[in-house]
Amino acid sequence: MKIENIGDLELIEGRRNSKVPYSTSILVKGKNGKGDALVDIGTGKEGYEYINENHDIQDIFITHYHLDHVKGIPYFQNANIYVNEIDEHKLNDMEVLGKAMGTYALHGASVVNQWIEHNKNSQPFADIMKRDKNLYPYDQTINVAGHDVQMLYAPGHCESYCCPYFPDEGVLVVGDYDLTSFGPWYNNADSDIDAFITSGEMTLNVDADYYVTFHHKGTFTRKEYEVALERYLAIIEERERKIIQLLKEGTAIEDLIHREVFYMKRNLEMAPLLLEFEIMGVAKHLKRLAKQNNYYEDHYQSFLDHHFAEPAYSDYFVQNE
Ligand SMILES: [Zn+2]
């Protein structure tokens, strides 16, 4: 397990180099009489053990609801949990969670109900759903273990996403702007491509020395981050050009999801559930194309009708409910 130190922050790497379904956690060492805190907790057991043996965690701040960022919560029974007001709904109610993830849109109510029955009494869901949750505001200075922090609102990856900013340490946690060669991930019902780009550009307005990602690429200097972010965001346009080309070639709407816009064939063979994210990702692109050019509206509607049990829920935002 690798640990990187920046001032009072310990970046604790997750299992398998923090690759999904694990992620890096930030331990914030307490000062001015405050206890220690965590930002996100999904490192895997080695990380949880290390943290519990060496620190007394008072508070855990969750950037967003994705499982790879919250699944360690049950290992910290004495900690107070802090979430944003958008995630509060999803982390208290598995039906809302199923809608945000896109399960409801893809498969409908009965499958979501089965999924809830299957998971509600097992960890980590059982503990996460019942834990008391405190709310943190976006974009205001809050106190995390005695440090000033702003949770900069950055929707797109999902509706609730935010980037913790530690001005005194010169650290911006860009987290799931993970700068990997896979590219940006906006494959839930509550994801949005244009918001992803706007939020990505927002991170460049933040004055930081270190840009910390939560998966295997680690920490970037400002200069490295500028270059890597541009390359990363460009992948969105590459995917879009590919879809345009496939449609131009007359690719059938049911075949669009087997043309490696996001996931490689071998990845889909190894993990068939990834196909759900492929479908959602292509839907998000077709929605964007239809918004720019009416020509794509029919493709978008026919894709939704073909692949979704509840097409209206392919865009699901708690704030619109
Ligand atoms: Zn995420």
Q: In a structure prediction context, what are the per-residue pLDDT tens digits for the chain, which is 321 residues long?
A: 899 999 999 999 999 988 889 999 999 999 999 999 999 999 999 999 999 999 999 999 999 999 999 999 999 999 999 999 999 999 999 999 999 999 999 999 999 999 999 999 999 999 999 999 999 999 999 999 999 999 999 999 999 999 999 999 999 999 999 999 999 999 999 999 999 999 999 999 999 999 999 998 999 999 999 999 999 999 999 999 999 999 999 999 999 999 999 999 999 999 999 999 999 999 999 999 999 999 999 999 999 999 999 999 999 999 988
The reported pLDDT for the residue numbered 63 is 98
Structure tokens at 312: 């209206």
Give the number of other CB atoms < 10 A from CB of residue 71: 23
CATH class of domain segment(s) 3-229: alpha beta
Give the Cα separation of 193 and 79 in Å (integer).
34
Rounded to the nearest angstrom, the distance between the alpha carbon of 14 and the centre of ligand 1 is: 14
Instruction: Please check whether residue 304 is in contact with residue 282, taking contact to mean a CB–CB distance below 8 angstroms.
Output: no
Closest by Cα among 155, 241, 162, 150 to 198: 155
Rounded to the nearest angstrom, the distance between the alpha carbon of 250 and the centre of ligand 1 is: 34
Rounded to the nearest angstrom, the distance between the alpha carbon of 25 and the centre of ligand 1 is: 13
Give the Cα separation of 103 and 254 in Å (integer).
19
Rounded to the nearest angstrom, the distance between the alpha carbon of 242 and the centre of ligand 1 is: 24
pTM: 0.96
Rounded to the nearest angstrom, the distance between the alpha carbon of 22 and the centre of ligand 1 is: 10
Rounded to the nearest angstrom, the distance between the alpha carbon of 274 and the centre of ligand 1 is: 15
Angle, helices 193-203 vs 222-248, to 10°: value is 160
Rounded to the nearest angstrom, the distance between the alpha carbon of 249 and the centre of ligand 1 is: 33
Rounded to the nearest angstrom, the distance between the alpha carbon of 186 and the centre of ligand 1 is: 9
First-last CA distance in the chain: 42
Instruction: Locate CATH 3.60.15.10 in the chain.
Output: 3-229
Say if strands 3-6 and 9-12 run parallel, antiparallel, or are unpaired.
antiparallel
Structure tokens at 45: 């057991």
Rounded to the nearest angstrom, the distance between the alpha carbon of 284 and the centre of ligand 1 is: 16
Give the number of other CB atoms < 10 A from CB of residue 301: 14
Cα 38 to Cα 56, 74, 152, 190, 228, distances in angstroms: 10, 14, 17, 25, 27
Rounded to the nearest angstrom, the distance between the alpha carbon of 294 and the centre of ligand 1 is: 31
Rounded to the nearest angstrom, the distance between the alpha carbon of 66 and the centre of ligand 1 is: 5
The reported pLDDT for the residue numbered 321 is 82
Give the Cα separation of 26 and 11 in Å (integer).
5
Close Cβ partners of 236 (under 8 Å, ≥ 6 residues apart): 183, 184, 193, 196, 197
Ligand 1 being an ion, which residues bring their Cβ within 5 A of it? 66, 176
Angle, helices 274-292 vs 297-307, to 10°: value is 160
CA dihedral 59, 53, 27, 74 (to 10 degrees): -50
Rounded to the nearest angstrom, the distance between the alpha carbon of 53 and the centre of ligand 1 is: 27
Rounded to the nearest angstrom, the distance between the alpha carbon of 214 and the centre of ligand 1 is: 9
